[in-house]
Amino acid sequence: MKRKVPNSIDSTDLILEILSRSSAKSVSKFRRASKFWESTLRHQYFTELFLTRSSARPRLLFSLENSNDLIFCSSPQFQNPPHESSLVVTAEFHISFPAEWRLQNCCPVSGLVYCPSSRLSVDRLPVICNPSTGQQVSLPKPKTTKALVHNFFWYDPVLKNFKVVCMSHDKDVAVEESWILALGTGTWRLIKGRLGHYPLSKGICVNGVLYYIGRRVAVNNTVVIACVDFNKMRLALIPEVNGISLWSRPSVLVNYKGKLGGIQSEWSGGNNVDGRLSLVLTLWVLEDFKKRMFSKRVYNLPELWENRNVNGSVSIAGVTGTGEVVLSRGYTSNPFYVYYFNLDTYTVQRVEIQGFEALERYRVQAFVDHVEDLKFLAAS
């Protein structure tokens, strides 16, 4: 961004450089300083600079839910954390909603979060929010009359826009209709036709393709991976292949170094002299889509927990861009920990997240590689 005021070049560029390394909340506050800074911080030059800087420092995003509210906060995410006895970071709280909104099957995408409203509350409209800046916008509700609704949120790299998909069906019946909303249009588009299955898991977007776990109704309730391309109206179902028992235990879909992956976890042992359990992770990666070919690796984590009081209360947040599995406790506690498991070095690093001490028994969902983005801010 070129300027023709020589006396202001150095100081302005220096401030922009400092702000590009700050939080999105700080930028949001600073833009209120004057019309000049409001215009400057909305400029494409700065929004792209900020995104470049924030992409190099991804964060862990947390959603904290109880019967009263939904809270979003984040903390620094380590990349190849040092193997130390104790690492401590502090969570930054961003935005909260009443209990009528839930994440359901929607994972954060490119710094934005979609929160559909509960069907029990007809007055609440679904919202898209940027947790980092606190901005939000309401969306119209789809006109479905079905009993069960599954929502997915992803970014379309072809048309370069965000989309929401609402799949609806009656109990124990395959999806009968799908509604699609492209952010900015304000209109849901109905796509009729049974998909032959209904969703079971959160969706994940890998290289622009939406994946989720589903169950085929007409084929002995077979569990499959659904790959949906709504732009081309194509649906592919990946069953169990190559003798790999993908669905013997619940799986969490992950982005593993740009490929679709899944992680299964289970506890084993407990009959040892010291009574300690081991957490076993099974990682499978889709290596070849056309051949339905997966790779599979099994990891045993015998030293993850210090005591048995936390056994079973962990969830898989995902795999970072540097290839580390992040596990989070399922409910707030004092102290509260997340764990980084390095798949290459076979080491586990515990990190304490401070800031949850006053929040009792909130259900925690954690998400890796959250990047603060100002595009939503710039478009407001």
d(CA 64, CA 51): 26
Examine residue 32 and state whether it is found in any structural domain, yes or no: no
CB atoms within 10 A of CB 303: 11
Residue with tokens 């406790």: 329
What's the total number of domains in the chain? 1
Number of residues in the chain = 380
d(CA 380, CA 28): 12
CATH classification of the domain holding 337: 2.120.10.80
Beta bridge partners of 284: 262, 296
* C-alpha distances in Å from residue 260, one per residue of 28, 157, 242, 315: 35, 17, 16, 19
Examine residue 169 and state whether it is found in any structural domain, yes or no: yes
Three-state DSSP class for residue 219: coil
Examine residue 131 and state whether it is found in any structural domain, yes or no: yes
Residue 334 sits at φ, ψ, to 5 deg, of -130, 105
- How would DSSP label each residue in 46-102? HHHHHHHHHHTS-EEEEEEE-SSEEEEEEEE--SS----S-EEEE-EEEEEEETTB-
- pLDDT tens track of the chain, all 380 residues? 554 444 445 688 888 999 999 888 888 888 888 889 888 888 888 988 998 998 899 999 999 988 888 899 999 998 877 776 678 999 998 888 776 676 666 778 888 888 876 554 556 678 888 888 778 888 887 777 776 778 888 887 777 788 888 888 777 677 777 888 888 788 888 876 667 788 888 888 888 788 888 887 777 777 888 887 766 667 777 876 554 555 556 678 999 998 999 998 887 765 555 556 678 888 989 898 888 888 889 888 766 555 444 444 788 999 998 889 999 988 998 889 999 998 888 888 889 999 999 888 898 999 999 998 887 644 44
Examine residue 9 and state whether it is found in any structural domain, yes or no: no
Examine residue 4 and state whether it is found in any structural domain, yes or no: no
d(CA 52, CA 143): 39
Per the CB < 8 A criterion, the answer to whether 136 and 189 are in contact is: no
Examine residue 40 and state whether it is found in any structural domain, yes or no: no
Examine residue 144 and state whether it is found in any structural domain, yes or no: yes
d(CA 325, CA 264): 12
Q: How deeply is 72 buried, as exposed, middle or buried, from its count of CB atoms within 10 A (0-12, 13-18, 19+)? A: buried
Residue range of the domain that includes 363: 57-379
Examine residue 241 and state whether it is found in any structural domain, yes or no: yes
d(CA 46, CA 44): 5
Residue with tokens 């470049």: 52
Q: Which of 165, 172, 288, 202 is nearest to 238 (CA)?
A: 288
